[in-house]
Amino acid sequence: MASKTLFNTQRGNMAPAADTFNQAGGLAYKYSAEHALAQYAVTGCFTSTFYASAEDQLGKVLEFAAQVEPEFIAKLAVFARERGFMKDMPALLTAILTVRAPELVPAVFKRVIDNGRMVRNFVQIMRSGVVGRKSLGTMPKRLVKEWINARGESSLFMDSVGASPSMKDVIKMVRPKPESLMRQALYGYLIDKEYDAEKLPQVVRDYEAFKADQSQPLPKVEFRLLTALNLTQAHWAGIARNAGWQMTRMNLNTFARQGVFNEKGMDRVIADRLRDENAIRKAKAFPYQLMAAYTMAGEGVPKMVTEALQDAMEIALQNVPALEGRVVVLPDTSGSMTQSVSGYRPGASSKVRCIDVAALVAAAILAKNKDAEILPFATSVHQVRLNPRDSVMTNATKLAQLGGGGTNCSAPLVELNRRKAVVDTVVFVSDNESWIDTNGRYAGYNSGTAVMQEWLKLKQRNPSAKMVCIDVVPNAYTQAMERDDILNVGGFSDQVFTVMKSFLSDNPQTWVRTIREIEL
């Protein structure tokens, strides 16, 4: 008689067998090469994460890029920059194309390399040799030169802040030909060659005059060009008055420390800028950046300004969809989610953690879907009560305080099945490092993940239910295999909500398909 232990009849649908392990040793499903590359492109910052080094991350990107068609790499570079608001990854993908498909580079370059920081990123990556060449080459050099020539004199001067390489290095490398005496003087000034001071752009002359005599009017320049000088409170107020949106968001405590808010009307100036919808869109702001600014604002930051950050959050989250039916959001609050969302880099790690992003997504969905249930989990499900009438900032802060513990992604699904809950949409926000609910490396590939098994049980009661799995770290696997009722999407911009809304609509499409449909 056959062994009942080995050949016991399984009730319900069988979960597809897992085909890999995650970094924590738990069972998982591999992404396709396209999906894995997309995941890295919108979450990777080339810094060490909880489980992987920066070098591992770079190696994976190059590995997956070698397995996909160049056209997909081109479209992904555009997606990662224009919709994911990433910096290093789009520059790397563009650099890869200079070797894989040079004919695609001009169209991609114009959309991806869109400011001085991106130019320097691209040049640095090209010169590093990681894509198979250590020089720019004729066509990339021409594109960089054309970008410099098309840049206005004032903007190019502002771009001179930054190093490794500096704009000075880039100009020396590509040798743009000046088309006017002003441009000739500016190039000489930037690369420390002889120049005619009378022919410099007005902004540069104003800057040099202020350096020589600080009783002169404050020049309208990148503030980092001024901070080494001995500035007064009035000077700092002038800097704040001329600052861009991102600089303002990042320096609220600095402004308070320098007495900016003691100047009459400056609280109103800063508040109005922070809640300006056009400025928010132009700055390509991540919602979590606003949460960080809000939670880190010190006592010296006026209430009017912190309230403006909450207004800005509502604008930044306009893409959050109102969902039909019963919605359950499952934010992962385990120990690995306490890592910095941009990875670890000495002296430069973001203080915003993955758990903060997960909490923010959950709170944002609750704000648009008042009857949604939030089931945060780690080793087990946390019991927490949230008021949908509270602000997104308030509820996100409550959830983020739950951090710690092991990762058990199936725990909230087990709870829903125990209750025989009626569910239409389940939204996971996790790093996919579930290990408590699996036998790990000793299980082999003869079973599906616990998440997939519990999802199939839930589907027996709720056949039309769908699940969205949002991953905020760079990896190549998931706890739920993608299919018609399961979407895997990565990133931490509000574009995630756009993709989710499309998937839950009457004409659903996958994340990879969304990228493929980009026109170059």
Task: Encode pLDDT of 150-177 as tens digits.
Answer: 999 999 999 888 888 999 999 999 999 9
In this structure, the answer to whether residues 365 and 475 fall within a common structural domain is yes
Has residue 262 been placed in a domain? no
Comparing CA positions, the residue from 297, 290, 378 lying closest to residue 338 is 378
pLDDT at 436 over 80: yes
pLDDT in tens, 99-120: 999 999 999 999 999 999 999 9
How high does pLDDT run on average in the chain? Answer: 90
Identify the domain boundary among 221, 240, 260: 221
**pLDDT value at residue 441:** 44
Has residue 97 been placed in a domain? yes
- Please tell me the distance from the alpha carbon of residue 320 to that of residue 392, in angstroms, as a whole number: 12
Rounded to an integer, the average pLDDT of 83-101 is 94
Comparing CA positions, the residue from 197, 194, 117 lying closest to residue 160 is 117
Nearby residues of 126 by Cβ (< 8 Å), 6 or more positions away: 95, 98, 133, 134, 135, 136, 137, 140
In this structure, the answer to whether residues 494 and 383 fall within a common structural domain is yes
**pLDDT value at residue 351:** 73
Has residue 10 been placed in a domain? no
Has residue 259 been placed in a domain? no
Rounded to an integer, the average pLDDT of 378-399 is 91
The answer to whether 175 and 193 are in contact (CB under 8 A) is no
Number of domains in the chain: 2
**pLDDT value at residue 2:** 47
**pLDDT value at residue 353:** 87
Has residue 304 been placed in a domain? no
Banded model confidence at residue 5, pLDDT cuts 50, 70, 90? very low
Length of the chain: 520
In this structure, the answer to whether residues 205 and 347 fall within a common structural domain is no
Has residue 57 been placed in a domain? no
In this structure, the answer to whether residues 121 and 24 fall within a common structural domain is no
Banded model confidence at residue 345, pLDDT cuts 50, 70, 90? low
Residue 415's identity, in one-letter code, is E
**pLDDT value at residue 257:** 96
What is the model's pTM? 0.89
pLDDT at 342 over 90: no
The answer to whether 35 and 483 are in contact (CB under 8 A) is no
Identify the domain boundary among 202, 221, 240: 221
Identify the domain boundary among 221, 252, 267: 221
CATH number at residue 26: 3.40.50.410
pLDDT at 50 over 80: no
pLDDT at 445 over 60: no
Banded model confidence at residue 349, pLDDT cuts 50, 70, 90? low
**pLDDT value at residue 455:** 97
**pLDDT value at residue 236:** 95
**pLDDT value at residue 442:** 40
Greater pLDDT, 332 or 4: 332
**pLDDT value at residue 506:** 76
pLDDT at 57 over 60: yes
**pLDDT value at residue 161:** 85
**pLDDT value at residue 13:** 59
- Please tell me the distance from the alpha carbon of residue 492 to that of residue 324, in angstroms, as a whole number: 23
pLDDT at 443 over 70: no
Burial of residue 336 (CB within 10 Å: 0-12, 13-18, 19+) is buried
**pLDDT value at residue 411:** 96
Banded model confidence at residue 229, pLDDT cuts 50, 70, 90? confident
The alpha carbon of 471 is separated from its chain's Cα centroid by a whole number of angstroms, namely 11
* Stretch (H or E) spanning 327: strand 327-331
In this structure, the answer to whether residues 340 and 213 fall within a common structural domain is no
**pLDDT value at residue 38:** 95
In this structure, the answer to whether residues 102 and 176 fall within a common structural domain is yes
Banded model confidence at residue 359, pLDDT cuts 50, 70, 90? very high
Has residue 267 been placed in a domain? no
As given in the structure block, the two tokens for residue 227 are: 């901070």
Greater pLDDT, 112 or 498: 112
Has residue 11 been placed in a domain? no
Range of the domain at 173: 86-158+162-221
